Amino acid sequence: MTLDDGVTGIGADRRLGNAHRDLRRGQTEVVDASDRSIRLAASLLQAGHIVGIPTETVYGLAADAANPDAVARVFLAKGRPSEHPLIVHLGQEANLSDWALRVPPQASRLADAFWPGPLTLVLDRHPSVLDAVTGGQDTVALRMPAHPAAQRLLRVFGGGLAAPSANLFGRVSPTTAYDVCAALGGAVDLVVDGGPCEVGVESTIVAFEGEDVVILRPGGVSSEAIAGVLGRGALATARRALRAPGMLASHYAPATMLELCSSGDAGPLAAELISTGRRVGVLSLTRIEVLGAAVAWDAGGEMAVFARSLYQRLRQADDERLDVLVVALPPDTGLGTAIRDRLRRAAHRPPS
Ligand code: TXA
Ligand code: MG
């Protein structure tokens, strides 16, 4: 495999000693997650650089959340509109009261149950949190990632790391260090390779409106698990449209056209598309045989495998130059809810 220009897969051992000096403009270095690499990443972040980091959900593009210039670099690298707020990633030693004005009891219970892990809490922001991070809103999104390399980095770095997913705005999120380089190569100074992401879809985002707990984005922690902690009936649907910038109808999109359907319809639909001469792929939870399909991917019936491989499959659909990827939607339970949400956004074509 080749990476775009400006990316060098340089081994950590050879380079780290004088890595600061070696950082050339427009070059991305990929390093392993050794203690040495983590120290390098932390010192680059402290100096205002942006670094690709592994989390258990997807790779993030991290900047010092207290440095407005560094945060601006993240928006620039992603091509992200500035009113779209970022999630601040915290280490296990972090003091929530440095970031949030108050922590509702329901939020504390969720943090106790799911942190570190794929859950983001939207809380009233502490006045010291930068506008650049919150998009000027009076709330801040906070999450404690579970990936051991992210945790080690946060401990050494010592502050909060503002990090969106490390993809170009609107495109598929990266689940390997390679994906980060392919999407942002040259625009990011360093990528820490922590292996493929375990969860594969982004964190669940939860907000608190008075007594109500609202899921703004389904993700790695299921609504059933959240209800299990808070009690049945605790989850409300938003009474008013909560401002959740970045929750766009069209997002996470590959170039390949997606056709979403039930698992029963996937075979006949794929067959029909193949008969019109199109190059067709099939993606499903359990295997679906389709004669003449260019590829048929399944997750062996495991929802966690479906989630973990979802973005890789969308990327592969582009690599395979498919005309259409027919996707059998998984059931709307557990991780299936997040998978369906991402697929809907990936399939949505804005009217032209
Ligand atoms: O799993 C994840 O959450 C990954 C990893 C890297 O941690 N991050 C991620 O970030 O998905 P991003 O920027 O791609 O999506 C964050 C979303 C934004 O689209 C925005 O809607 C929401 O978080 N968000 C951030 N701050 C918010 C706030 N104060 N109120 C409401 N929504 C907010
Ligand atoms: Mg994103």
How confident is the model over 186-209, as pLDDT tens digits? Answer: 899 899 999 999 999 999 999 998
Residue with more model confidence, 232 or 144: 144
* d(C-alpha 114, C-alpha 84), whole Å: 25
Establish whether residue 175 lines the binding site of ligand 1, counting it when its CB lies within 6 angstroms of any ligand atom.
no
Print burial letters for 216-230: b (CB count within 10 Å at least 16), e (below 16).
bbbbbbbbebbeeeb
Average pLDDT value for residue range 150-169: 97
Residue with more model confidence, 100 or 185: 100
Residues 253/171, Cβ–Cβ less than 8 Å: yes
Residue 69's pLDDT is: 97
10: its two tokens: 């340089």
Residue 288's pLDDT is: 97
254: its two tokens: 């590959």
Q: Tell me the best of 121, 130, 165, 341 to mutate to test the pocket of ligand 1, counting ligand atoms within 8 Å of each CB and taking the most.
A: 165
| Strands in 190-313 per DSSP E | 190-192, 204-209, 212-217, 257-261, 280-284, 295-298
Establish whether residue 61 lines the binding site of ligand 1, counting it when its CB lies within 6 angstroms of any ligand atom.
no
pTM here?
A: 0.92
Residues 230/110, Cβ–Cβ less than 8 Å: yes
Tens-place pLDDT, residues 42-93 = 999 999 999 999 999 999 999 999 999 999 999 999 998 888 999 999 999 9
Does 290 have pLDDT greater than 70? yes
Cα torsion through 221, 225, 227, 231, rounded to 10: -140
Residues 9/30, Cβ–Cβ less than 8 Å: yes
Residue 8's pLDDT is: 44
Does 20 have pLDDT greater than 60? no
Average pLDDT value for residue range 240-251: 59
Residue 246's pLDDT is: 53
Q: What is the DSSP letter of 34?
A: S
Residue 236's pLDDT is: 74
Supply the DSSP string of 70-119, one letter for each residue: HHHHHHHHHT--TTS--EEE--TT--GGGTBS---HHHHHHHHHH-SSSE
The torsion angles phi and psi of 238, rounded to 5 degrees, stand at -60, 125
Cα torsion through 146, 316, 182, 49, rounded to 10: -20
Cβ neighbours of 164 (radius 10 Å): 23
Strands 139-143 and 212-217: unpaired
Residue 14's pLDDT is: 34
Establish whether residue 337 lines the binding site of ligand 1, counting it when its CB lies within 6 angstroms of any ligand atom.
no
Residue type (1 letter), 349: R
The residue nearest atom 19 of ligand 1, judged by CA position, is 246
Residue 29's pLDDT is: 92
Q: What is the mean pLDDT of the chain?
A: 90
Establish whether residue 165 lines the binding site of ligand 1, counting it when its CB lies within 6 angstroms of any ligand atom.
yes
Show the domains of the chain with their CATH numbers: 10-230 (3.90.870.10), 257-347 (3.40.50.11030)
Residue 186's pLDDT is: 87
Tens-place pLDDT, residues 23-34 = 444 678 999 999
Q: Tell me the best of 58, 88, 114, 120 to mutate to test the pocket of ligand 1, counting ligand atoms within 8 Å of each CB and taking the most.
A: 120
Closest by Cα among 208, 230, 254, 222 to 349: 254
Residue 99's pLDDT is: 98
Residue 60's pLDDT is: 98
Q: What percent of the chain has pLDDT over 70?
A: 88
Does 316 have pLDDT greater than 50? yes
Q: Which ligand is nearest to the CA of 219?
A: 1
What distance in angstroms lies between residue 88's CA and the mean position of ligand 1's atoms? 9
Average pLDDT value for residue range 319-345: 97
102: its two tokens: 């108050």
Strands 204-209 and 212-217: antiparallel
Does 121 have pLDDT greater than 90? yes
Residue 352 binned pLDDT confidence (cut-offs 50, 70, 90): low
Ligand 1 atom with least separation from CA of 118: 1
Residue 1 binned pLDDT confidence (cut-offs 50, 70, 90): very low
- Helix 223-230 and helix 105-114, axial crossing angle in degrees, nearest 10: 120
Residue with more model confidence, 132 or 253: 132
